[in-house]
Amino acid sequence: MDLDILKSTAMAMVASGKGILAIDESHGTCTKRFEALGVECNEDSRRAYRSLLVGAQGIEDYVSAYILFDETLRQETEEGIAFTKVLADKGIIPGIKVDKGAKDLALHTGEKVTEGLDGLRERLLEYFELGARFAKWRAVIAIDRNENLPSRACIVANAHALARYAALCQEANLVPIVEPEILLDGDHSIEHCYEVSVEVWNVLFDQLREQGVELQATILKTSMILSGKSASQRADALQVSQMTLKGLKEAVPDELAAVVFLSGGQSPKESTLHLDLMNKAGALPWPLSFSYGRSIQGPALEAWAKNPQAISEAQEKLLHRAKMNALATLGKYDPSIDD
Ligand code: 13P
């Protein structure tokens, strides 16, 4: 492990005024998103769509790193240029999703544990050779008040796997993004989400420390603290930003390299506004940025699905969302110029 290399990669991933774009959907997730818009999902359609995302000119002004899926890390544009080269030529750092997905947790109905540790050391060596400089592992935690979820077993199992993954990444000089996503589904209150989020973060940082993971070279990718999607009274944007900041300050160590958010079902504008309000609230111990998938890609994907030939129209939509979020990392987003 070379801590200096890891720290400088982590710093570059959240350079001032920039964030991370997630385009690492597995084939299953990509199929759902494409088919919902009437597009067949196959290797060629994924290449065409991701060429548009990777090739958008000027995105490097707003985005410092892309999270890719295994196929994309090895794929070339229609002109035969490796996606990793297109990104590296723009100064964008390529990274790779390395988990093998969330599987049912034994003896815990309704809960998942993320798998993928077997053979990970060898896969990470190959990913580094292919140009990746960071990795991502996503754990999912469901809240269900009636069933008393999440269980402690689910939180600990996922945090332990995240910590073992992060240690393997650092050994291979890849910056680990540790992503415990607390799902938006449910009718829980924002206060309940706060309690669960703080517990998950506390257990995660205990596990990371126990495995000897260097926090200065680790990035937390997290959900925001939100009311459940079907809660009768959902907290407003100011409350979301205040509760999320309060929870993060309580549980996240100052030495962590950065905190970035997933969008997790928030609308594009909501996710931008929430990030902006948090960055307007004053100085924080860590950079606070975005690592959105759906909320940055959404409008571009819809435009492309409607007309796959209108590449520049879709790219303009992508650039617009990237720019709005870049402004939000600086607390300079103005919703009145966002349409
Ligand atoms: P969102 O689509 O929720 O922003 O997700 C990003 C991501 O990388 C989830 O793992």
Read off the pLDDT of residues 322-338 as tens digits, 9 standing for 90 and up.
Answer: 999 999 999 999 999 99
pLDDT of residue 82: 97
Read off the pLDDT of residues 234-287 as tens digits, 9 standing for 90 and up.
Answer: 999 999 999 999 999 999 999 999 999 999 999 999 999 999 999 999 999 999
- CATH (residue range 3-337): 3.20.20.70
pLDDT of residue 218: 99
Is a pLDDT exceeding 90 seen at residue 123?
yes
46 in ligand 1 pocket by Cβ < 6 Å?
no
Distances (CA, A) of 201 to 166, 221, 265, 306: 15, 11, 20, 40
CB under 8 Å, gap of 24 or more: what pairs does 307-312 form? 308/39, 308/48, 311/52
Best residue for ligand 1 mutational test, from 25, 294, 318 (most atoms within 8 Å of Cβ):
294
97 in ligand 1 pocket by Cβ < 6 Å?
no
List the residue whose alpha carbon is closest to atom 5 of ligand 1.
293
List the residue whose alpha carbon is closest to atom 3 of ligand 1.
264
Element (H, E) at 152: helix 152-171
Which DSSP symbol is given to 216?
G
List the residue whose alpha carbon is closest to atom 10 of ligand 1.
138
Read off the pLDDT of residues 213-237 as tens digits, 9 standing for 90 and up.
Answer: 999 999 999 999 999 999 999 999 9
pLDDT of residue 153: 98
Give the residue-averaged pLDDT of 175-188: 98
Is a pLDDT exceeding 90 seen at residue 170?
yes
- Kindly give the number of the ligand 1 atom that is closest to the alpha carbon of 266: 3
Catalytic residues: 179, 221
3-state SS, residue 11: helix
Q: Confirm whether pTM is higher than 0.95.
A: yes
pLDDT of residue 78: 84
List the residue whose alpha carbon is closest to atom 6 of ligand 1.
293
The full set of domain ranges for the chain reads 3-337
Is a pLDDT exceeding 90 seen at residue 339?
no
What's the 322 CA to ligand 1 centre distance in angstroms? 14
CA angle, 121 then 126 then 132, to 5°: 100
Give the residue-averaged pLDDT of 145-153: 96
pLDDT of residue 230: 97
Read off the pLDDT of residues 8-65 as tens digits, 9 standing for 90 and up.
Answer: 999 999 999 999 999 999 999 999 999 999 999 999 999 999 999 999 999 999 999 9
293 in ligand 1 pocket by Cβ < 6 Å?
yes
